[in-house]
Amino acid sequence: MLRFLHILLTGLSGVLWDGVAAFGGVRLVNGENKCSGRVEVLRHDQWGTVCDHGWDLREADVVCLELGCGLAETALHGSVFGAGKGEILLRHVQCSGHESSLTRCAVVLHSNSHCTHLNDAGVKCSGTLLTPTLTLLSPHTVFTPGEAVRFSCSVLLGHHLSDFHLYKHGVSTPLVTQRADQTQTRVDLTLTDIEASHQGSYSCRYRIKGGFPAELLSSPPSNSINITVVELLTPQHWYNTSTEAPAGSVLKGHSFNITCSTPQQYPGGSFQLRLIRSNGTVRQSLPALAPSVTFTFPNAQSSNEGYYYCLYRVQLGGRTFVSRESQPLPIAIRDPDPLLSPMVISWLVSGLTFVIAVIVIIIVAKVLCNKEKKPTELERETRTCVDNTYVALSINKL
């Protein structure tokens, strides 16, 4: 009964599983390096060759992955690396490409085709898994929160791919994973609804099934692509003017200034001050050389009256980004109080100065007069007239 089943299976497919335990390993001989050469397998402590009938990239991939040599670049026929010696141990190898070893692939044990060492199979492997290429599909590298960033990850040899991953530098787990079929060489990876934390450098990897024991092997990281996420905060603002002006007002002819501020800074940014008044809109702009800038108005006039708004503006990566406007800052221009007008104040100061000067002169005159020596009564009585001039005679006391 068993022999009947054996004959039946052989007749239907011509494919049987050889005893895996009888094989000890696989090697490459006479190649340019350890990852190229004639394929040989070990059986019962004897090395033998593999017939190139039915030999293609699927079988070659299994060999390369088993030896840790990446993927197969070419599956070679006709004893390219020289004719081997000994027995031809495997004929008509039929791999799916996912086996962990060439000796685990199905083979035709008995075949009518004629194989000699001139048909020894060879392989040239990539050496390691090929490095993928990451491409930015989005037309720019600078984004705002909520946008999507589209990448493409590709590899020249795409057979036996399992999946692709998008990584952010410094983060061990992938942000995006995309499965791939065995023949796919490129996938799109989309990072949706980005946030400020997504700013940074990105690369991709792919994984393939293979090796011994069977596992998922990860490729080296691709090239890096940097993206910038611009998150502009709403600026703050305040104004300063003379202390005698009522709140929310500026006295006509007086100076005032408005300061705009934001903690978020980008190279080349600027602050814009927008004034909305009854007869139109006026805009001013200053470079954001510091977190805050001050707009100065040295001589307030009626044209300065209205609602003021601050906003932050920057150009990055060929795109213009503008923050939300600040809350409105209403400023009214008022005429000064007539009683305290500059002319009245000048008159008052001049008059007060004159009065103070007169008082000082009088006081000084009084002090000087008091210092003059007054004549005594005896001196007044002894005055004589000489040439119509009274001369006081001094009398010495005995």
User: Is 70 exceeded by the pLDDT of residue 88?
Assistant: yes
73 vs 149, which has greater pLDDT?
A: 149
**Least confident segment among 40-49, 77-86, 154-163, 206-215:** 206-215
Indicate whether 31 pLDDT > 60: yes
Q: Are residues 98 and 160 in the same domain?
A: no
For residues 271 and 300, state if they share a domain. yes
Spatial separation of the C-alpha atoms in residues 241 and 248, rounded to whole Å: 10
List the one residue out of 115, 96, 106, 108 whose CA is nearest residue 20.
Answer: 106
156 and 195 co-located in one domain: yes
- Among 176, 196, 229, give the residue marking a domain's end: 229
Amino acid identity for residue 110 in this structure: H
pLDDT at position 215? 66
Residue 381 vs residue 27, higher pLDDT = 27
In terms of pLDDT, which residue wins out, 113 or 64? 64
Q: What's the burial of 176, exposed, middle or buried (CB within 10 Å: 0-12/13-18/19+)?
A: buried
CATH label of the domain that carries residue 288:
2.60.40.10
For residue 317, the number of C-alpha atoms closer than 13 Å in the C-beta half-sphere is 14
Write down which residue in 336, 357, 385 finishes a domain: 336
Is residue 392 one of the residues assigned to a domain? yes
pLDDT of the residue at 18: 40
pLDDT at 393 over 60: no
320: which 2 tokens?
């213009």
pLDDT for residue 267: 86
Domain encompassing residue 70: 2-125
* Residue 83 banded pLDDT, cuts 50, 70, 90: very high
Indicate if 241 and 312 belong to the same structural domain. yes
Both 311 and 358 in a single domain?
Answer: no
Do 168 and 225 lie in a common domain? yes
Total domains in the fold of the chain: 4
In-domain check, residue 105: yes
Instruction: Determine, yes or no, domain membership for 368.
Output: yes
67 in any annotated domain: yes
CB 270 within 8 A of CB 288: yes
pLDDT at 92: 87
Which range of 85-94, 186-195, 205-214, 367-376 scores highest in mean pLDDT? It is 186-195
pTM: 0.62
DSSP code for 288: -
| Range with lowest mean pLDDT among 132-141, 295-304, 329-338, 345-354 | 345-354
31 plus 111 within the same structural domain: yes
Whether residues 186 and 297 share a domain: the answer is no
Give the residue from 202, 229, 256 where a domain finishes.
Answer: 229
Query: Do 302 and 217 fall into the same domain?
Result: no
